[in-house]
Structures are given as structure tokens and as C-alpha cells.
Amino acid sequence: MQNGSFDVFALRKDFPLLLTKVYGKPLVYFDNAATSQKPRTVIERIVRYYEHENANIHRGVYHLSDLSSNAYEGSRDMVQKNINASKREEIIFVRGATEGINLVASSWGRTNLKAGDEVLISQMEHHANIVPWQLICQEKGAFLKVVPVDDSGELILEEFHKLLSEKTKFVSILYVSNSIGTINPIKTLIESAHQFNIPVLVDACQAAPHLSIDVHDLDCDFLVYSGHKIFAPTGIGVLYGKEILLNAMPPYQSGGDMINTVSFEKTTFKQAPHKFEAGTPDIAGAIGLGTAIEYINTIGKSKIHEYEQKLLNHITQKISDIDGLRIIGTAKNKIPVISFTVEGAHPMDIGTLIDFEGVAIRTGNHCTQPLLDRLGVTATCRASLAFYNTMEEIDFFADALNRVIKKIKN
Ligand code: PLP
């Protein structure tokens, strides 16, 4: 069976793990916001790397080191093209979004923030985009300002505009919420910040698996995402930064491969990206990321988005019928992530019992405690879908959820 022109059943065959059985039942994997499954092409590329190309990069003059360096740098080109950055030097490989944000907060923040300055984030940030800014603000005597969200889980744009001032030195904000799925009007936010000449970092961790990202069009100053959420391995991620900003920033970590000259008196550094890639990086991870990007490009982000919107509508409609169920986060524009609570049933109990039905969902605060506080809950169940999920899985999930709730309440 096909879902329109989008043959999800053919695509599912690309993902070996989706054939897994849990307690004898077919796995329904609805925790894609935490991490995605990997297509065979990515897994095989990593195996090929270790079987035929493994050597350290940039330093060897021999054939294998060349192969390895070219594959690693080739992935940088792929990332550059994929997010439409002007230059390959603007792409820095990091461990993930968390490291990317820490890099900017430490390097840019430590150089540019001073007492009394303000950094603007939002109430819906992942902890990864709160804590690094909190720490650097504390160190510098700067203040963290927070754009509130409304009851539906959308940013209150008037408040965003009100909070921008000459005191604001940096805006760091997410594109898409990991816990409730809200898609923010990111381009408008960037344009407004730029009217005050404020640089903007976009946390695109949850946008990258679902939406096309064009840093040229967005005109963001920095952008981060994690490879493991876009069907690539764990341990690799991307920090995009405008070249002029990157080259003005001091190193974040230091050591081999990021220096020009070292003496005991003085060290000189390479320019970006190498200045920010100290030591041996995750070579296989970067190569796997390039392969994942190629894989997604063969499907096409617009097709993925169109299909995922159908999944979102279907799951919203299916679970809305359940007695006592409250959807947390009802923004107009969402990715297929749905958070909910059920009266009289603790999210942890739902998550544990539905696992016995073969369904993997996330329960807890999803690393967004301030957002959940604002929305009046301490924990939710979260089903987060990817393009390889099906309408049939949603139907099974809704039936399983009904069974689980009945069990808890009886
Ligand atoms: N930002 C958002 C919006 C996220 O969803 C996540 C992870 O869930 C992160 C940042 C941190 O990503 P990582 O743990 O891969 O560094």
C-alpha cells in the first residue's frame, strides 16, 4: 500500500531497526525527537569507512589518510550545500547541538558580553539552550531574558519585540520545540533582532529532520543541529556560523589540528572551521552524516513535510477522542510531535505499560522544565513521529493507549 506518491512502506525497508519486535510485538517507534533510526546506507557507509578507509585526517601524507580526509571534508561540503551556507569554512563539526551552543556561549559570550548586557532566549527552549547562557551570564554579570509563550505553546511575539533593546547583545532561540512541536516564525524573529544589530543563534535541532534549512535565506548568524536526529550517527553535529563572526571568536577547545604554530611562548591558530575542531574529530560520524543528508535528499524535504503533516493531523484527531486526554501544545504550525496528559494516569505509567504493546514513546519533561511549568504540567507523554511512521502505526498506538489507560484506571 502507498500513501499517495510517498511510498512509506518501501522507505521503511531502508531502516533495519524498524523490523524489531518488542515483547513479541512489532516495534512502533514514536521517540524520533529523542533520536532517529538509521538507514542501512548510513550504517554500511560507516562499516565501509572502518573496513577500508580508517586513518586519522589532515595529518598523514599517505593514501589512507587522504581517503579519510577527503571523505570527512566532503561531508562538510555536503552540509554546506544542504543548509545553503556561502562557504565551507562556515561549517564546524561538533558533537551535537549541545556542544554547538556551548561553543558559541563560551567563545562568543566570553568575548562579547559584559555586566548589564542581556541575552534573550524563550520559555520553550531545550535545557541545552538555557544552561550554557545562564552560566555565561552569571560569569559576566549579564542577564538572561525570556520570551514567554501563550497557553497554546506559541511564542508571544509582542513580548519578543518588547524585550529587544540596546541592552540585548544576543538572541538564542529554537526553530521548533522538541516537547510540543511548535514551529516558530524564525525568519521574522531574526529580522527583528537584526534591526538592533543583535546576532541570532538558531537551535535547529528539531527543525532539521522535518524542514528545509536555508541559512542564507534565514540570515541567522549561528545555527546548530545534531546528526543523530537526522538519521545520522550519534556523536556528530553541526555548528554553522557566519565567517566574519567565527574568525573574530577565540578557540573553544585547544590542542592538535587547530593551530598554525606552537611554541612555549606563543601559539597561533588556524582560521575557522579548523580553529574550532581541536583534536581527532568523529570522522566516521561526519562521513555518516554526509550519507544521511544524501539519503534524505533522494526523498526530498517537501515530500517529507507534506506526508508528516498528514501524520500529525491523523494522530491529533485519533487521540483527541480519548476521554480525559489533554494535548499540551496546540500551536497552529507544528511538526509531528504531540505531547499529552491523561487525567488519572501518570505519564510514566502510560509510557511503561505501552512499551509492553511494542510502542516506544517518551515520558517526562523532555529537557524543557520551564516550558512544562508554564503549561501547568510536570511531565507529559510525547509521541514524536518521523517520515517512516505510518497511519497504521498511529491507529495501533491509539488503540494501545486506550487499553493502557483502561488498565491504569481499573
Ligand atoms: N535542542 C533541541 C531543540 C533538542 O531537541 C535537543 C535534543 O533533544 C537539543 C537541543 C540537544 O541535542 P543533543 O543532545 O543532540 O546535543
Secondary structure (DSSP) of 162-180: HH-STTEEEEEEESB-TTT
3-state secondary structure of 117: coil
Q: What is the pLDDT of residue 168?
A: 98
Check 137, 205, 367, 381 and give the catalytic one.
Answer: 367
Tell whether the model's pLDDT for residue 5 goes beyond 80. Answer: no
Give the tens place of pLDDT for each residue, 272-317: 999 999 999 999 999 999 999 999 999 999 999 999 999 999 999 9
User: What distance in Å separates the CA atoms of residue 212 and residue 350, rounded to the nearest whole number?
Assistant: 34
Q: Cell 537526522 belongs to which residue?
A: 230
Q: What is the pLDDT of residue 49?
A: 98
Q: Tell me the whole-structure pTM to 2 decimals.
A: 0.97
3-state secondary structure of 268: strand
Give the tens place of pLDDT for each residue, 206-227: 999 999 999 999 999 999 999 9
User: What is the position in ligand 1's atom list of the atom closest to the CA of 366?
Assistant: 8
User: What is the position in ligand 1's atom list of the atom closest to the CA of 178?
Assistant: 5
- Please give the CATH topology (third level) of the domain spanning 44-298: Aspartate Aminotransferase; domain 2 (3.40.640)
Q: What is the pLDDT of residue 410?
A: 85
* Ligand 1 pocket residues where CB is under 6 Å: 96-98, 126, 128-129, 174, 178, 203, 205-206, 226
3-state secondary structure of 182: strand
Q: Which one-letter amino acid corresponds to residue 14?
A: D
What is the rounded average pLDDT of the residues 177-198? 98
CA of 335 to the centre of ligand 1 (A): 15
Give the tens place of pLDDT for each residue, 355-390: 999 999 999 999 999 999 999 999 999 999 999 999
Q: How many CA atoms lie within 13 A of 324 on its CB side?
A: 12
What is the rounded average pLDDT of the residues 142-153? 98
Q: How many CB atoms lie within 10 A of CB 150?
A: 14
Q: Can you list the alpha helix ranges (DSSP code H) found in 49-174?
A: 63-83, 97-112, 131-140, 157-163
The percent of residues in the chain predicted with pLDDT above 90, rounded, is 97
Which residue of 182, 183, 226 sits with most ligand 1 atoms within 8 Å of its CB, as the best mutation to test the pocket? 226
Which residue of 35, 102, 178, 184 sits with most ligand 1 atoms within 8 Å of its CB, as the best mutation to test the pocket? 178
3-state secondary structure of 37: coil
User: What is the position in ligand 1's atom list of the atom closest to the CA of 174?
Assistant: 3
Closest CA to 96 of 235, 273, 289: 235
What is the rounded average pLDDT of the residues 244-252? 97
Tell whether the model's pLDDT for residue 6 goes beyond 90. Answer: no
Closest residue to atom 12 of ligand 1, CA basis: 97
CB 146 within 8 A of CB 96: no
Is residue 205 flagged as an active site residue?
no
Give the tens place of pLDDT for each residue, 331-341: 999 999 999 99
User: What distance in Å separates the CA atoms of residue 55 and residue 318, rounded to the nearest whole number?
Assistant: 51
What is the rounded average pLDDT of the residues 45-59? 95
Tell whether the model's pLDDT for residue 157 goes beyond 70. Answer: yes
Class in CATH terms, 8-30+300-409? alpha beta
User: What distance in Å separates the CA atoms of residue 271 and residue 249, rounded to the nearest whole number?
Assistant: 10
Average pLDDT, the chain: 96
Tell whether the model's pLDDT for residue 3 goes beyond 70. Answer: no
Residue 46's pLDDT band (cuts 50, 70, 90):
very high
CA dihedral 239, 244, 246, 251 (to 10 degrees): 170
CA of 369 to the centre of ligand 1 (A): 14
Q: What does the domain layout of the chain look like in residue ranges?
A: 8-30+300-409, 44-298
CA of 205 to the centre of ligand 1 (A): 6
Q: What is the pLDDT of residue 1?
A: 41
User: What is the position in ligand 1's atom list of the atom closest to the CA of 177?
Assistant: 3
Give the tens place of pLDDT for each residue, 17-44: 999 999 999 999 999 999 999 999 999 9
Cα angle: 128, vertex 131, 134; to 5 degrees? 145
Q: What is the pLDDT of residue 399?
A: 97
CA of 403 to the centre of ligand 1 (A): 32
Closest residue to atom 6 of ligand 1, CA basis: 205
Which residues contact residue 387 at a Cβ distance below 8 angstroms, ignoring those fewer than 6 apart?
Answer: 6, 8, 11, 299, 304, 307, 308
